Structure 1
Amino acid sequence: MSFTGFSAPWWFLLLIVVAAVAVGYVLAQRARRKRTMRFSNLALLERVAPKAQGWPRHVPAVLLIVSLILLTVALAGPTAEQKVPRNRATVMLVVDVSLSMEATDVKPTRIKAAQDAATQFAQGLTPGINLGLVSFAGTATVLVAPTTQRQSVVAAIDNLKLAQSTATGEGIFAALQAVQGFSAVVGGAEGPPPARIVLMSDGKQTVPEDLYAPRGAFTAAEEAKKEQVPISTISFGTNHGTVTIDGREVPVDVDDGSLQEVARLSGGDFYQAGSAEQLKEVYQDLGEQIGYELKEADASRPWVVLGTLALIVAAGSALFLGQRLP
C-alpha cells in the first residue's frame, strides 16, 4: 500500500489551531516561571509549592499536541492504493488440445502439466470473476460458458481430449462469441463487464495456414481488439519436443512469433513457459493481474487509531504526573 493523497486536504487548516495551542502552552509556561521568580519569600515557596518534575511534566501536553496532529491528518482523508478484488469481469481460458500436447519434453506431458496449471489458475482466481473454458484443435468448443462456479471449469479441464490440427483463430473466435453472449445478458446500466482471453498454445496454427485468413489467428486478434478484449498469450513447451504420429516421430516446436503477434494485435501480453513450473508462475502472475485492481481507498483508520491512543496516553500521563488532566 503506497501513500498517495488526501480527499479533504482543507482539514489541514486545523493545524493552525494546533500550532496556536502549542504556542499558547509555551507562553503559559514562561509566564508561570516569571510569576514564580517574583515570589518574595522563596523559602516559603519551596515548602508550599510542589517540587518541579522537570521535563516529564511536559509529556501530557506534547502527547496532546501529537494526538491533535494525527486526528487532523485523519480528518483530511488520506488515501492509498490498495489491491481490490475485481467483480463482474469475464475471463475465457482458451487451451490448445492438438496432438502436439502429447509431447513429453515437459514432464509428465505437455497436456498434463497444462491441466495442472490451468486448474490452479481457475481455483485461485477471484470469486467475483466469471471464468469460461474453450478448447481447440481442428475446431473449437466452448466447454464452459462464463460462470463464477469454479468446479465446472475444473472438471472440464480434467476431461480435455486431444485431437488433430491447430485452429488457433477458431479458438479465439469461440471465446469472443462466449464473451459477447454473456455480456448481452449481464450488461445492465453499467455496460458490459470487462473481459480478457487467456490463450495457451504449444504450436503454430495449421487450420487455416494463413494467419490473416478470415478465420485465422491474426484476424481473430484484430477482432478482439475491436471488441476491447485483450488476449494474454502463453507459448508453452520447448524447441525439442516430438510426438509420434502414424509411426513416425514429428517435431513439435513452439511458435513464439505468432503468439507474440496475437498478443500485440489484441492489445494483450505475451508469456513464454518452457516448463511446468514456469507455466504455473505465468498463470499465477495472470491471476494477480486479472483478479485484482489498484484503487484509491480510504486510509484514515491508522491515523484515527494512533491519534486516539496518543490522546488516551496523554490523559493517563497527566493524571499520573500531575493529578489533573492536561
Structure 2
Amino acid sequence: MDSVTRVLLWEFERPARLWALLVVPALIIAYVLILQLARRRGIRYTNTGVVGAVLPHQRQWRRHASVAMALCSMILIGGAWAKPVATVNVPRERATIVLIIDVSRSMEATDVSPTRLDAAKKSAAQFVNSLPAQYNVSLVTLSGHPNILVPPTVDRGVLNQAISKLQVADGTAIAQSITEGLSAISQAPTGDDGRPAPGLMVLMSDGSETAGGDPVAAASQAKEKGVPINTIAFGTQNGYVDVNDRRYNVAPDTATLARIAQVSGGKAMTASSAGQLDSVYKDLRSDVGYQKERAEVTAQWALYAMAFAVVASLGVVSMAARWP
C-alpha cells in the first residue's frame, strides 16, 4: 500500500484530491444567495394570500434537507476519490491456535455447575468445532507439569476426544504452560510459501502460579514471537474445594491473567458461569478468525455517498410530486 496522509480524523492515499471538496462551500454560498434573492422577489407581491392560493405550498425543511443530503453525498464522493484508508478485519486464511486449559485441583470446584472442569471441557469443545477447518489447533494442559496433549492438528475428532478425557492434576504452572504453548506453535506445519501461520493462545485458568515461574516474563517471550495470549479467568471469587478435610478458597487470579494478556498483546476476559464462558469463547472465535490490516475503504465511502444521494433524490421527488 502506498504511503497515506492523515487529514483530520481520516487517512487518504491521495489527499491532494480533497481540494475538489472546495466546490462544496461554494455551492453552500450559492444556495444561500439564491434563497436571499427569492425572499427579495417575494416582497414584490403584496397580496400574499392570492399568491399562496395560486402556487402550491412547499415546506422549507424538505428543500433544505434535500440540499444537505446532496452536499453530504458530494463530500463522501470527494473523500472516496481521495482513496480513504482504514484498519479493517480481514479473515485469516490459516492460523495455529493453542488452547491451554487449567486442570489443577481447583477445577473441581462446583461454583460452576456441574464442576469448573466439566463446564470448561464442554465450552472448549464447542470453541474448537467452531474454528475454521483449516486452522491447526493444539491442546496444552495447565497443571504443575504442563503438557502438550495434542500437537497442532486439523483433526477435530482427536481434539474433542482429548478434551473429553481431561482429568484434574496437582499444581498450576502458568509460566511453563505458556512456554509449552510456544513450543506447540513451533511444531505447526508451514504454508506453501514456507512461512508459519500466525499463532495465538487461549489460556483459561482459575488459579495462581504455584510452581515458582514468572507468567509475565513468559508472556513477554510470547510477545517477542508475535503470539498474543487471550486469557480467561474462570470461576467465582467464592469458589472452594475440600482437600483432606480442609476447605480452600480457589478464586481466579484475575490480575495476573489480565497482566499476561496485556503484556503479550492479547485480550483479558472473565467468566463466572458456564453461560458466560460460552459467550467468551464466542467472542474469541470472532477475534481469532480475523486479523487487522490497513486497507482502502473507497467502496464503503461510496456506499454512504449513495445512501445520502438516495435520500436527497427522494426529497426532490417529493417536492416535484407536491406531496402533502
What range describes the TM-score normalised by the shorter chain of this pair?
0.5 to 0.7
Any gaps of 5 or more consecutive residues in structure 1?
Answer: 38-45, 322-326
1: CA distance, partners of 2:61 / 2:112: 67
Query: Are residues 1:107 and 2:113 paired?
Result: yes
Kindly tell me: are residues 194 and 28 of structure 1, through their superposed partners in 2, closer, same or farther at Cα, counting changes over 3 Å? same
Aligned residue number for residue 99 of structure 2:
93
Kindly tell me: are residues 119 and 26 of structure 1, through their superposed partners in 2, closer, same or farther at Cα, counting changes over 3 Å? same
Aligned residue number for residue 204 of structure 2:
200
TM-score (norm: length of structure 2):
0.66
Query: Are residues 1:177 and 2:179 paired?
Result: no
Aligned residue number for residue 150 of structure 2:
143
2: CA distance, partners of 1:81 / 1:292: 15
Kindly tell me: are residues 75 and 33 of structure 1, through their superposed partners in 2, closer, same or farther at Cα, counting changes over 3 Å? same
> Secondary structure, in 3 states, of the residue corresponding to 1:73?
helix
Aligned-residue offset at 1:110: 1.6
- Which residues of 2 match residues 40-59 of structure 1 at below 5 A? 52-53=54-55, 55-56=57-58
Aligned-residue offset at 1:22: 2.4
CA contact (8 A) 1:90 1:131 kept: yes
Aligned-residue offset at 1:96: 2.0
Cα deviation, 1:170-214, whole Å, max 9, x if unaligned, reads: 4322221222343x713959x7554332212234555xx3315xx
2: CA distance, partners of 1:260 / 1:64: 51
Aligned-residue offset at 1:109: 1.2
Aligned residue number for residue 232 of structure 2:
234
The correspondence for 1:134, drawn from 118, 137, 140, is: 140
Aligned-residue offset at 1:93: 1.3
1: CA distance, partners of 2:286 / 2:102: 23
Kindly tell me: are residues 311 and 242 of structure 1, through their superposed partners in 2, closer, same or farther at Cα, counting changes over 3 Å? closer
Cα deviation, 1:98-131, whole Å, max 9, x if unaligned, reads: 4443333432112111112323444556788654
2: CA distance, partners of 1:286 / 1:231: 11
Kindly tell me: are residues 251 and 197 of structure 1, through their superposed partners in 2, closer, same or farther at Cα, counting changes over 3 Å? farther
- Which residues of 2 match residues 277-316 of structure 1 at below 5 A? 277-287=275-285, 289-291=287-289, 297=297, 298-311=300-313, 313-315=315-317
Percent identity reads 28
Cα deviation, 1:125-164, whole Å, max 9, x if unaligned, reads: 67886543322443402425165x7666445433434445
Aligned residue number for residue 43 of structure 1:
none
CA contact (8 A) 2:100 2:140 kept: yes
Paired amino acid for 2:202: V
CA contact (8 A) 2:99 2:139 kept: yes
Aligned residue number for residue 40 of structure 1:
none
2: CA distance, partners of 1:240 / 1:30: 76
Kindly tell me: are residues 272 and 32 of structure 1, through their superposed partners in 2, closer, same or farther at Cα, counting changes over 3 Å? closer
1: CA distance, partners of 2:62 / 2:119: 64
> Secondary structure, in 3 states, of the residue corresponding to 1:76?
helix
| Count of aligned positions | 297
1: CA distance, partners of 2:102 / 2:263: 19
> Secondary structure, in 3 states, of the residue corresponding to 1:77?
helix
2: CA distance, partners of 1:255 / 1:50: 76
2: CA distance, partners of 1:240 / 1:305: 53
2: CA distance, partners of 1:86 / 1:243: 46
1: CA distance, partners of 2:22 / 2:41: 30
Max Rg structure: 1
Any gaps of 5 or more consecutive residues in structure 2?
Answer: 1-7
Paired amino acid for 1:94: I
1: CA distance, partners of 2:123 / 2:182: 23
